Structure 1
Amino acid sequence: MVPARGRWWLRAAFGLGTVLLIIQSAAVFPAGRAWLEANLGFRTVVQDGIYLLAAGLVLARALLVRQDRGAWLLMAGGLAFYAAGTVYWVAVLAHISPTPYPSVSDFMWLAYYPFAYAAVLRLLRARESRIRLSSWLDGVIAAACAAAYASVVFLGGVTVDSFGSGLTMLVSIAYPMADIVLAGVLLGSWALSNWRLDRVWTLLLTGMGINTTANGLRMLQTTSGVYTPSGWVDVLWAVALALIAAAAWRCPGAGAQQRPARAMVGMLLPAVLAWASMLLLVSDSWRHRGLSVISGGLAATAITGAIVRMLLTVRTVEKLSDARRQARTDDLTGLPNRRRFLEILRRELPEGDGGAPMAVAIIDLDRFKEINDSFGHDLGDRLLQMVAARLTEAVGDDGELARLGGDEFGVIMRDADTAGAQKIALGLLTALRRPFDLDQIELHVDASIGVAVHPDHGADHSMLLRQAGNAMYAAKNDHRGVALATGEADDVAGRQRLTTLEELRVGLDRGELTLHYQPQMHLASGTVTGVEALVRWEHPRRGLVFPDVFLPLAEHAGLMGRLTLQVLDIALAQCRDWRAAGLHLVVAVNLSASNLQDTTLPGHVADALSRYDVPPAALHLEVTEEILMRDAARATAVLAELRAMGVRLAVDDYGTGYSSLAYLHALPVDDLKLDRAFVTHCDSDPRSAAIVKSTVELAHNLGMRMIAEGVESEAALDRLREWGCDLVQGYHLSRPQSADRFTAWLDERYPRRGAEAEIALH
């Protein structure tokens, strides 16, 4: 016995039990048996003491420890009957010849079994609040197999005639049947506990199992006429009682700290038990002696349970396989997902620099967020499905396509070197640029594709993907469509880009945006009538950051709407302050193409004008020709609503995009703003001069004003004045400046105008 920690009397009781067990064990040797036979009184004390001490220890545990109290009370009751039967046998029945059968001791010993069943099942219920079907089947298999073998031991060679009649027959049948059931309960309970082996459970099941084994040995020895009192069977009974008492006094928390058996144990043990049952049937057939009905039925039950368990396992494996597949498949498109993509890439990527070439491409749809926001997620999902189908067709059997998340796809291109990978990527881009028909809406989709080749751009999958991602961002920023990774510099740039994006998010929260203003001069009057607001970012560590660094990131990350509203607020607040100081200037603010897909924009503009008490005519909004590549109808509706409010509208960077006269005629705009590429050299380049002059005439013929940007010399200014250009801006007048510096600059060069002059200029 293992003495429990804590109470002194408990340690003393376990110590006494250990001594009694040693004495009982010594009786198996001739010298020890002779001494005990010479001292019958002492042998009686030893034998009775072991049974009574075990029952008392379990009862004390049940009374003093609350956890699992009901189970241990039941076990104490069973052991009490067992001890009482033994004491009565030793004290009374052992001295009667012939010994009465059945006797009071038999009924007390039999009373142990129902208490033992109930105790084991109560402990099982406490440990397993919910038992799975597979565990139930394991329990049936284990219980039936154990009971089948026990029945062979306890019922072997026994006939109905050997039991006698009446009460004698009932008691004689009850013993083996009780042990058969107990064997099934013990092994079945272990199976139902999911084959767990915590210390309490192990000690209890082992102790009760040894007790059942000892009963079987006693029956075999009695049948064979070789049973010897105080022999090994008695020692096994004593050991069984010791283990049960030790299980009761294990640490109360030990039973709760159960650890599941290893998966192999849970899989192998039911199979082993089923094979054992089959072996029982087959071996008996070889001996030409049929099993008893009970033994055969139990073995058949175990085998049937094993068959059902196997079918359940097959079904479970299929479910696990489906779950594994679903965990690696994108639900929307049916393509492999990021996890599966990485698994394939790791598996197929050559080790080191050897092996066939391989390339990876990252595909990101341009402006997909705007499509989702404009037309809804249902249409966006359908578009992704159509994109997936088109890319699958384009990739074919030469690569592996996956959806990595959102509007991002990945392609593994086998046997593709740099030239081959670029060719494949261009083919993918061409396929995507064909229009998609969705609910009578024809959408033109563009994409940015980054390509990285192994081993030139990375020796492992992580580096290769990072390089491909960086190349994709480079393609997006430069509007190249397809970009090839260039090496470590891309990796550094990628980290810098992500860092910048996160800092921009924080900067927007902290109000770190600021505006610089570049004057616009009215050529006919020579007066500065307005300014263009140009956004800058006052980074806390990097200083003034120019828009070409962060605007593409903001566009890609969906931050343009928020950024534009902040710029609008800053510009209108400054316009209000200038007007209060007598400077009635028009402020021009740039809108991105994505802003014009937001149907709530006119409401935000109206709210801002009202909040800062600025008249609509004092605000100019500039848009680029990029809107022609988007949903032109939606953009036109937004522009018309803004113009109806009294806000003037201009097409910025005219001449660098589609420059479609049809769209120009349809768009509700007031001004054309010619790109600096034509204006800068209009005084020296005849072709530039012709373009500028004709564009001025076009604007006037359409009822629009002409604004020339990029004026860098007096000669260019003179030519623009000569051709009738309305407004000009450029470095020749002034570089963009902060509001304070611009105000000082304006006061030095131009007199302040009144509201009447401002209105006349419009």
Structure 2
Amino acid sequence: MDAAVRRNSVPAERAAPFYTFVGAVITVAVVVSAASISRLPEQLPDLPTAFWLMAALAVLCDYRPFAPPGPRQSSAVFPSICFTFAILLAWGLGPAILVQAAAVVSSSIRLRHATWRAVFNVAQYALALGAAEAVLRGFGEAAFAQGTGPTWIDVVAASVAAAAWFVVKYGTVTIAVRLHAGGNWWRTFRHGLAFESVSIGALLLLAPILVGGPASQSVALIPLMLVPLFAVYRMSRLSAEQEHLARLDPLTGLANRKALLAEVHEQATLHCARAAAGAPDQHFALLLLDLDRFKHVNDALGHAVGDRLLIDVSDRLVRAVGPADVVARLGGDEFAILTPRLTDADGARALADRIVVALAEPVSLDGLPLDVAGSIGIALFPEHGDDFATLMRHADVAMYDAKHRRDTVVVYTPESDHNTPERLSLLGDLRRALDPDLVSPAAGEITMYYQPQIEIQTGAVVGVEALLRWRHAKRGMVDPEELIKVAEQSAVMRLLTRRVVDDVVEQLAKWQAAGVHLRAAVNVSIRDLHTLEIVDQIKERLARFEVAPEQLQLEITEGALMADPRRVLATISELAKLGVAIALDDFGTGYSSMQHLRRLPLTEVKVDRSFVLGMATDADDHAIVRTVIDLAGALGLRVVAEGVEDERTWRLLRGVGCHVAQGWFYARPMPAEELVDWLGRYRPLNPS
């Protein structure tokens, strides 16, 4: 186990304690080994050929040691350990320290270690050998030194001495790494413990076999020990390579989620240690990148081309970041970048901007240029979280916020996070209210309210809009906007839509049986329109309850269209073929409205209430409403104005030719049973 550090330089805030420890280890090692070293001039002339052969093999083998990659470059397989422990058993502490020192010098030359580091390594080995010597003396073990057949107690003594050697050596390395790099004591201790206890343990326990077998029988047998030593070397190397590969993405060679988690944990520990030491405030950032339209590449060109695109993107990311940054692929088209030692969010934004520039140039695959772009979310330590899970979740929130806002880079803000503890609790209650297997009185009751839609020219009730209501057992009526915000970011949204469609279609059948024929409009979310599942569900429910498709209308927003126009268009086209009417809700508040009116199979547009509410007092709002009605009329579309709350607005809408209106001027949303009573009492307004 080489005393290990990532670099020979030591951070200023830890330099004093680190070098104090190094000096203490060297001093104690000199004291422990002084007496044994002083007797070496008398011992060396009498040492046998077996000793000199072992010493030569120890020095030669350590010239090319194997140390697995990683922050703790431990001496996992230094063959000299086997030979010097065998020398300790047979000829004592002095010769063992001498040979081990020569082997350390050999490996230090090869690895280009600083002089102080080589001296520190010699001192560690001297302490470990001294501890093993003390154990052997305590047991009174002498069989290996005398060349007699070892007994069970001798084997036990050698094993306990090997354990003492390992504890002292591993312990000094752990303390040195902790003082040098900071971090958590327990994490530093257990890092590599399993690997090193097996590999070093094998080297130490081969020593009694070496000195009790080949060394005592024939010097010519000693070189044969290189075979099991090579086996230990191969075992250690394969183990280290497997551990290394387990932290890599197999396609791109970048770090994977497991490696990123470990790096974030280490950076968090280091920053906390620096803060505790009074260092200036420092931050690190986690950037989450999700490629846009990657699924389209896979669908159109195949996964092989998609894989090549990901490899090219990973190469660009590596070139765009700094040498201390960590780039990881989390799966699919999602990447993460960890950048340490920032002063504020501007540094993270600067890195994100470099990444955007790096991805701006199209990727050429087989002569076909493919545009690459993505959305980047940023979370900062410690402002946005102090652990991997929290930082990842907040970076994910920021990334989806960037997609929603059609921005490229967004830094996390609590205002955009719909997953606060309170909302997560509410989401759990909503799931229990919707799932028949989880239903609980504490979750409350999901019901549907219906608001009438009135034909302005005739005053006839032509339809209703179905509006979701949730009466929570503890919170009372949950605000509908809050309910949708809670649900739409999770799979619960599909459960909610399924429940709404089921309830509304069943209610249409009940009204039909009672002689009430109405069209019901149902709002659907972005998630509902990304698959054809909703088409199959509606088709099945209409057939089961014998409801005509024309009695059901789905309302979609322009925001849903912009999220994924291709998939949304495919879904609503299938619904239109089924005979279900499609309405464009909140018209005028989204993007590319003219294009949508021309391309989509619409039957109706709904003028947003923000324009309707102001049209009686604001000339601009009045002009917007009139323009929308004229445009829709030219395209053969029905126009519904929502938010009609007074007679003046109703008369203005009638004057500009609006077809249908809904709002509190006519009626508030109400439960289904109240609607039937309301219909019995309703009298159309006199248009004069």
Superposition TM-score tier, normalisation by shorter sequence? 0.5 to 0.7
Residue 309 (structure 1) aligns with: 228
Which residue of 691, 706, 717 corresponds with 2:650?
717
Residue 244 (structure 2) aligns with: 325
Residue 503 (structure 1) aligns with: 429
Q: Counterparts of 1:159-170 in structure 2 under 5 Å?
A: none
Unaligned stretches of 5+ in structure 2? 1-78, 91-142, 155-195, 440-444
Distance 2:214 2:300 in 1: 66
TM-score of the superposed pair, with normalisation by structure 1: 0.55
Distance 1:493 1:749 in 2: 43
Residue 574 (structure 1) aligns with: 507
Q: Displacement, 1:377? A: 10
> What are the Cα deviations for residues 262-298 of structure 1, in whole angstroms up to 9, with x where unaligned?
6344331214533666755xxxxxxxxxxxxxx43xx
Cα distance change of structure 1 residues 469 and 611 upon mapping to structure 2, 3 Å threshold: same
Q: Displacement, 1:573? A: 1.0
Cα distance change of structure 1 residues 711 and 427 upon mapping to structure 2, 3 Å threshold: farther
Cα distance change of structure 1 residues 278 and 546 upon mapping to structure 2, 3 Å threshold: same
Residue 419 (structure 1) aligns with: 346
Answer whether contact 2:641 2:660 (CA < 8 A) is retained.
yes
Count, aligned residues: 491
Distance 2:446 2:233 in 1: 62
Q: Displacement, 1:604? A: 2.0
Residue 380 (structure 2) aligns with: 452
Answer whether contact 2:639 2:659 (CA < 8 A) is retained.
yes
Distance 2:316 2:461 in 1: 54
Cα distance change of structure 1 residues 555 and 446 upon mapping to structure 2, 3 Å threshold: farther
Distance 1:741 1:524 in 2: 25
> What are the Cα deviations for residues 113-139 of structure 1, in whole angstroms up to 9, with x where unaligned?
xxxxxxxxxxxxxxxxxxxxxxxxx9x
Which residue of 601, 605, 615 corresponds with 1:668?
601
Unaligned stretches of 5+ in structure 1? 1-137, 150-209, 218-235, 241-260, 281-294, 752-762
Cα distance change of structure 1 residues 603 and 386 upon mapping to structure 2, 3 Å threshold: farther
Residue type at the aligned position of 1:361: L
Answer whether contact 2:505 2:541 (CA < 8 A) is retained.
yes
Matched, 1:400 2:400: no
Distance 1:630 1:269 in 2: 64
TM-score of the superposed pair, with normalisation by structure 2: 0.60
Deviates more, 1:322-331 or 1:563-572: 322-331
Deviates more, 1:641-650 or 1:552-561: 552-561
Q: Counterparts of 1:134-283 in structure 2 under 5 Å?
A: 263=198, 264-274=200-210, 280=216
Matched, 1:690 2:610: no
Cα distance change of structure 1 residues 461 and 702 upon mapping to structure 2, 3 Å threshold: closer
Q: Displacement, 1:396? A: 4.9
Q: CA RMSD in A?
A: 4.7
Identity %: 34
Deviates more, 1:726-735 or 1:629-638: 629-638
Cα distance change of structure 1 residues 391 and 704 upon mapping to structure 2, 3 Å threshold: farther
Distance 1:355 1:302 in 2: 57
Q: Displacement, 1:581? A: 2.2
Residue type at the aligned position of 2:223: I
Distance 1:376 1:575 in 2: 45
Residue type at the aligned position of 1:313: V
Answer whether contact 2:605 2:638 (CA < 8 A) is retained.
yes
Distance 2:490 2:255 in 1: 25
Cα distance change of structure 1 residues 533 and 391 upon mapping to structure 2, 3 Å threshold: farther
Cα distance change of structure 1 residues 688 and 340 upon mapping to structure 2, 3 Å threshold: same
Answer whether contact 2:508 2:518 (CA < 8 A) is retained.
yes
Residue 543 (structure 1) aligns with: 476
Cα distance change of structure 1 residues 332 and 653 upon mapping to structure 2, 3 Å threshold: farther
Distance 1:438 1:555 in 2: 37
Cα distance change of structure 1 residues 426 and 506 upon mapping to structure 2, 3 Å threshold: farther
Q: Displacement, 1:685? A: 1.7
> What are the Cα deviations for residues 160-214 of structure 1, in whole angstroms up to 9, with x where unaligned?
xxxxxxxxxxxxxxxxxxxxxxxxxxxxxxxxxxxxxxxxxxxxxxxxxx9xx99
Q: Displacement, 1:572? A: 0.8
Cα distance change of structure 1 residues 687 and 357 upon mapping to structure 2, 3 Å threshold: same
Rg larger in structure? 1
Distance 2:305 2:647 in 1: 52
> What are the Cα deviations for residues 477-531 of structure 1, in whole angstroms up to 9, with x where unaligned?
88776554568x9999633343333333333213753222222111111122111
> What are the Cα deviations for residues 602-647 of structure 1, in whole angstroms up to 9, with x where unaligned?
2321111111111111111112223443553443333233222222
Answer whether contact 1:379 1:438 (CA < 8 A) is retained.
no
Cα distance change of structure 1 residues 717 and 370 upon mapping to structure 2, 3 Å threshold: farther
Residue 288 (structure 2) aligns with: 363
Distance 1:483 1:369 in 2: 20
Distance 2:489 2:304 in 1: 20
Q: Counterparts of 1:100-115 in structure 2 under 5 Å?
A: none
Cα distance change of structure 1 residues 691 and 443 upon mapping to structure 2, 3 Å threshold: farther
Q: Displacement, 1:587? A: 0.4
Cα distance change of structure 1 residues 262 and 457 upon mapping to structure 2, 3 Å threshold: closer
Residue 734 (structure 1) aligns with: 667
Matched, 1:527 2:455: no
Cα distance change of structure 1 residues 262 and 333 upon mapping to structure 2, 3 Å threshold: closer
Cα distance change of structure 1 residues 395 and 477 upon mapping to structure 2, 3 Å threshold: same
Residue 592 (structure 2) aligns with: 659
Cα distance change of structure 1 residues 484 and 634 upon mapping to structure 2, 3 Å threshold: closer
Q: Displacement, 1:566? A: 1.9
Q: Displacement, 1:583? A: 2.0
> What are the Cα deviations for residues 4-59 of structure 1, in whole angstroms up to 9, with x where unaligned?
xxxxxxxxxxxxxxxxxxxxxxxxxxxxxxxxxxxxxxxxxxxxxxxxxxxxxxxx
Q: Displacement, 1:723? A: 0.9
Residue 63 (structure 1) aligns with: none
Distance 2:423 2:642 in 1: 30
Residue type at the aligned position of 1:363: L
> What are the Cα deviations for residues 55-96 of structure 1, in whole angstroms up to 9, with x where unaligned?
xxxxxxxxxxxxxxxxxxxxxxxxxxxxxxxxxxxxxxxxxx
Residue 292 (structure 1) aligns with: none
Answer whether contact 1:597 1:635 (CA < 8 A) is retained.
yes
Residue type at the aligned position of 2:246: A
Deviates more, 1:321-330 or 1:509-518: 509-518
Distance 1:310 1:563 in 2: 65
Residue 570 (structure 2) aligns with: 637
Residue type at the aligned position of 1:269: L
